[in-house]
Structure 1
Amino acid sequence: MDEADPRELQSLQYYLNEYGQQAEVLSRQLEMLEQQRLESLASIESLQSLGAAQGGTVLLPLGGGVSVQVQVPDPDSVLVAIGAGVTVGRTNAEAVSFLEDRARELEASEKKLSETIERIRGQMNEIAARLDAAYRSQVPGR
């Protein structure tokens, strides 16, 4: 590579920065999806153990490390938020099935997002290599 065009270097640096910002935003989205998936799995575990609770008594976390013991009169009847502020009554088994479906969907979304992040990082590596080569060509004696 002969003398590098300063405009090309500036353009490459701009693209590198933009891709970096995109990768950061997508990584945060990936973390949120993972947290939602883990919450779904924890809810499944809680629902499955609800029916096995002795005397229908369970611990209800209130926050700040505080819990209370409560009696669940009908552990087979639960409320499920299905989105857009809508909550519906379901059986325990239906709620577990709903959450398992949600966890699978979140996992698929995570996979697609991870692939996109990897593509962006690959493009970033290519741009960084081009920038490095362009800067090296400008240093005398190399």
Structure 2
Amino acid sequence: MDQVDPREIQTLQMYLNEYGRQIEILTQQLGMIEQQRLESSAAIETLQAIQENGDGVVLLPIGGGALLRVKVLDAGHVLVNIGADVSVERASADAVEYLGDRITELEALGKKVAGSIEQLQGQAAGISRRLEAAYRGAQQAQAGQGGS
């Protein structure tokens, strides 16, 4: 009967642990992408509601569950973060379009990350099966030596 190499078991376990870490990191990234998508959707809804609301009064959260009733001075223009802590002023309609494009990009990125997670899970499952087979082989080899 073939002897199972303990280094192979150790290597497989190391790979399995690394795949687990990668899956965890990608899952966190997927959560952040989804959060950004939801925030962009909420911003679009808010901008559209402000445009439809004639008085321009909105509730502004200031933390701790407290809100201020404020009047929007210029509902026609919005400061939009375009990345790297850089914001630009855009017309509200342009901001809505920009945020819609951002949502589309985030959805595509989310699908890509989800696909990577699935691929890693499949690879981890394969390694797990190999690891279980190696453990069974080691147990059989041990049982065979004990019975001799």
TM-score range, shorter chain: over 0.9
- Partner in structure 2 of residue 58 of structure 1: 58
Count of residue correspondences: 142
Q: Deviations over 1:93-133 (max 9, x none)?
A: 10000000011101111100010111111010000001111
Of the structure 1 ranges 62-71 and 76-85, higher mean CA displacement relative to structure 2 is found in 76-85
Cα distance in 2 for residues equivalent to 1:25 and 1:133: 28
Unaligned ranges ≥5, structure 1 = none
- Partner in structure 2 of residue 125 of structure 1: 125
What is the DSSP-based 3-state SS (H/G/I as helix, E as strand, rest coil) of the residue aligned with 1:69? strand
- Partner in structure 2 of residue 138 of structure 1: 138
Of the structure 1 ranges 3-12 and 83-92, higher mean CA displacement relative to structure 2 is found in 83-92
What is the DSSP-based 3-state SS (H/G/I as helix, E as strand, rest coil) of the residue aligned with 2:2? coil
Cα distance in 1 for residues equivalent to 2:59 and 2:77: 17
Q: Deviations over 1:29-83 (max 9, x none)?
A: 1111110111000111001101122411111111111111111122111111112
Of the structure 1 ranges 1-10 and 128-137, higher mean CA displacement relative to structure 2 is found in 1-10
TM-score, with structure 2 as normaliser? 0.90
Give the alignment of 1:1-142 within 5 angstroms: 2-140=2-140
Unaligned ranges ≥5, structure 2 = none
TM-score, with structure 1 as normaliser? 0.93
What is the DSSP-based 3-state SS (H/G/I as helix, E as strand, rest coil) of the residue aligned with 1:3? coil
